[in-house]
Amino acid sequence: MKNRILGNGGLEVSAIGLGCMGLSFGYGPATDKQEAIKLLRNAFEAGITFFDTAECYGPFTNEELLGEALVPFRDKVVIATKFGFEDGNSKKGLDSSPARIRTVAEASLKRLKTDYIDLFYQHRVDPNTPIEEVAGTIQDLIKEGKIRHWGLSEAGAATIRRAHAVQPLTALQSEYSLFFREPEQEIIPTLEELGIGFVPFSPLGKGFLTGAINEATKFDPTDFRNTVPRFTEENRKANQVLVDLVKGIAAVKQASPAQIALAWLLAQKPWIVPIPGTTKLHRLQENIGAVGIQLNDAELKDIETALKDIQIVGARYSEQLQNRVGK
């Protein structure tokens, strides 16, 4: 496994991290606890040192899972978690008040069985709490040794600048993949200018870029993709053209579609660290294999040219969730 640096503060992590949400939340029933612990420890043994969670994944159970799984090698891993929802429940409103941030920090430390959080993200920008106030609270927590780095998730460029001016940001976590390229317009140039790392979640397009999903796929009733316009049966069929492109490149490179999607992200900037999630050991190993795949300039240019002719159909979020991003 190769390493990368997030932000000017020098946070070193594995070039691919592990998004842990799906082990407990969001994509159907939670993974059996012992199986999940086994997967997390296998990830570490395979070279992954960057693990992403949040208090609202469960709520709370995902942090508890990571705390138990990673405690034997806590000093060798980077754990990222998040605050920002009322009572830690993503179905409720946003709350990044200073008191709430402190409450979450203390509770997360206990659940994660640690005395410091490597990377603490604001999960979504709270319109009721000025970002300067959020940054000031984080600054105090850093001085107290409870937080080492901080970041934002799905924030807009203006908010990133305001937050960074008070307490330098180490990373932004937002959606970015061949399936969703909007960050290229304003976000990535802003991060590059300010020296902030980028941690793309859903780097495999919520599983779509693996080639394992088509218009006939049926999701578990509790799977949040049922609420995503881009994942209607009709839109999955229309967007299959992108998967066909990725599959074609994968065949030439003797790789899997998922590996090509991740290798493409890694090739965009040296400070981009995708965090694909999985509940399956063979998928974990497949994702890690992307680090060894190099897309040269000619191949990247060919992909760029091909993408110009592909129109992605459907929004990436329901209207309610979309209202929480880009602020």
Rg of the Cα atoms in the chain: 19
Name the residue among 235, 283, 323, 270 with its Cα closest to residue 42: 283
User: Residue 234's CB: how many other CB atoms inside 10 A?
Assistant: 11
Note if 121 is an active site residue.
Answer: no
Distance, in Å, from the CA atom of 134 to the CA atom of 127, rounded to the nearest integer, reads 11
The answer for residues whose C-beta is within 8 angstroms of residue 63's C-beta and 6 or more apart is 53, 54, 55, 57, 81, 108, 111, 112
The 3-state secondary structure of 51-71, one letter per residue:
EECCCCCCCCHHHHHHHHHHH
DSSP, residue by residue, 20-34? -GGGTSSBSSPPPHH
Check 57, 116, 176, 317 and give the catalytic one.
57
Q: Where are the beta strands (DSSP E) in the chain?
A: 3-6, 11-14, 18-19, 50-52, 78-83, 117-122, 147-153, 171-175, 197-201
Quick check: helix, strand or coil at residue 96? coil
The answer for residues whose C-beta is within 8 angstroms of residue 137's C-beta and 6 or more apart is 98, 101, 102
Q: Tell me whether the omega of the peptide bond preceding residue 59 falls within 30 degrees of 0, making it cis.
A: yes
Residues carrying an active site annotation: 57
